[in-house]
Amino acid sequence: MPSRRSYLVAVCSATALLAGCGARRRDVEETPVSEDHPDDERPAVRTPDETERSPDAGDAATTDEHREDETEVSPADEEVAEPAEPEYETLDIREYGAAVDGRTDDTEAIHETLLAADDGDTVYFPEGTTLVSADVVDNSAAIVLDSSALPSNLTLTGEGFRSTIRMDDNQPANNKVVEINGDSNFETLELSQFRIDGNRSEQNTDGGHGIRVENGGQATEPLNLSMRRLWVDNCNQTGISLWRGGVFIENCTVERCNTHGISIGSSEIRNEDIPPVVIRRAYCARNGKGNNTYGINCSGGNVIVEDTVCANNGQGTKTTSGTIEATYRRVRLENNDFHGYIRAGQETDNRSLVRFEDVVARNNGETGFRLSRNTDYVIPTEILSSANGSENIRITNDAGIDAQRIWSNRAHGPTGLLADTALGGRIQTYHPYENGGEALDVNGNVEITTLEQRDRTDLEHVPTALEVGAGSRRLLFGR
């Protein structure tokens, strides 16, 4: 690629030639800096007089033939600018008829905006309340993002919490504010900087998702969907429901949903190559209250949860027989009504792999960690379970365990660590402290190398609620 100076000199030379000024390259007083010649290795610059006096120039410097050659433009001089990058547009939904007043149904206007979008464009939701309904352009979804019908690269964005998309009253069952479907995958689809309000208190029927990604399409290829700094709350069912992999969720807050906060469903294809769902720096709170459901439901595929807090839900998180592999890394599970983590569901022929790396379970109503059937658990670093209502940790059924370090203190139940699994495994170091009953109840199938009473109530590098999520607006709803 030519340097900026080379480009400018070439443009000036070409302009002079076109104007008939007869400019010659020897008249350029400074040689362009080339990326091939560092400053300390630049070719010497000669003035026209020096060139004529130079022995190297000889008689050729004064011949007409040589002078004519000097007016020729070299291939380097013919290089002008690189092709300009495509100009992407931002389409404001108001330009297509949206009122954004919280009273007028803007569903059709959003649909028209999406139809007008070209590849790489952005659909913009301004501050205010955009009211939508589920039976205008689709029989159950207000905003439909069909990968087969829309541009391959598309962004939907707003101004943060004050850009609210709210479902209208009295919508049909199983409605969705946003539905993502189609037989192909996007190259990039990004949703960012707006709030989705499911308006569950004004719905007459059960059922209503904030964002739902439908099953189908190319399951072993990434959907390439990113969600960043979204607030999703007040949904009759699940805040974010995913039935495909290749989805990235970052700095999102999901609250007050009747079923799950975020749910990853089981694909029809059980394949280790299914792209993972990655959840990072999320805050899932007050979901599943009264239903004993979950902040994050990892019921299918491959999932990575990092730097995330699940607090004050019916239960913190779970895996099931549909899970292929799940990794929890620097995750906090606290103040949930029942379990912090549980492997739920029935027996199966499939075994899952679950990793816990620096995970804290505190002040949950039942167990902090209930490790159970058809799952192999790996803890390469440490977990801490504190002040839970029953055992802090239970390893049961045919769970396999390979753990480096486990902390258990102040359990309200009879045992700090109960291990009655039929399969067994190894715990390198176990630290109990002031548990309500026995520090340890382990059958002969689990080997503990080092048992040392030590107190620790937290892992400091695991984030708290104030360090994750979409922003401080979540505090309006309490914690």
Domains of the chain in start order, with CATH, are 4-78 (no CATH), 90-451 (2.160.20.10)
The least confident of 28-42, 174-188, 306-320 is 28-42
CA distance 108 to 386: 51
Burial of 368 (0-12, 13-18, 19+ CB in 10 A): buried
Specify which residues 306 forms β-bridges with.
280, 329
Helix H segments across 31-147? Answer: 48-53, 64-70, 75-78, 107-116
Q: What is the C-alpha end-to-end distance of the chain, expressed in Å?
A: 54
At residue 66, does pLDDT exceed 90? no
CB under 8 Å to 64, separation ≥6 — which residues?
none
The least confident of 109-113, 212-216, 262-266, 407-411 is 212-216
At residue 423, does pLDDT exceed 60? yes
pLDDT higher at 215 or 432? 432
CA distance 23 to 256: 74
Q: What is the 3-state secondary structure (H, E, C) of 219-273?
A: CCCCCCEEEEEEEEECCCCCCEEECCCCEEEECCEEECCCCCCEEECCCCCCCCC
At residue 37, does pLDDT exceed 50? no
Residue-wise DSSP of 72-85: SPPHHHH--PPPPP
**DSSP state letter for 28:** -
Strand pairing report for 294-298 and 253-255: unpaired
pLDDT of residue 269: 58
CB under 8 Å to 32, separation ≥6 — which residues?
3, 5, 6, 9
CA distance 158 to 168: 19
Q: Judge contact between 220 and 244, C-beta under 8 A.
A: no
At residue 27, does pLDDT exceed 80? no
pLDDT of residue 348: 81
pLDDT in tens, 293-331: 999 999 999 999 999 999 999 999 999 999 999 999 999
Q: Judge contact between 340 and 312, C-beta under 8 A.
A: no
**DSSP state letter for 98:** -
At residue 472, does pLDDT exceed 80? no
With a pLDDT cut of 70, the percent of the chain lying above it is 78
Mean pLDDT of the chain: 84
Residue-wise DSSP of 278-308: EEES-EEES-STTTT-EEEEE-SEEEEEEEE
Closest CA to 303 of 359, 227, 373, 247: 247
Helix (H) or strand (E) holding 447: strand 446-451
In the three-class reduction of DSSP (H, G, I as helix; E, B as strand; rest coil), residue 474 is classed as helix
pLDDT in tens, 113-162: 999 999 999 999 999 999 999 988 777 899 999 999 999 999 999 999 99
Closest CA to 430 of 422, 415, 135: 415
pLDDT of residue 39: 41
Burial of 366 (0-12, 13-18, 19+ CB in 10 A): buried
Specify which residues 333 forms β-bridges with.
310, 361
CB under 8 Å to 322, separation ≥6 — which residues?
265, 266, 267, 270, 299, 300, 301, 345
pLDDT of residue 199: 96
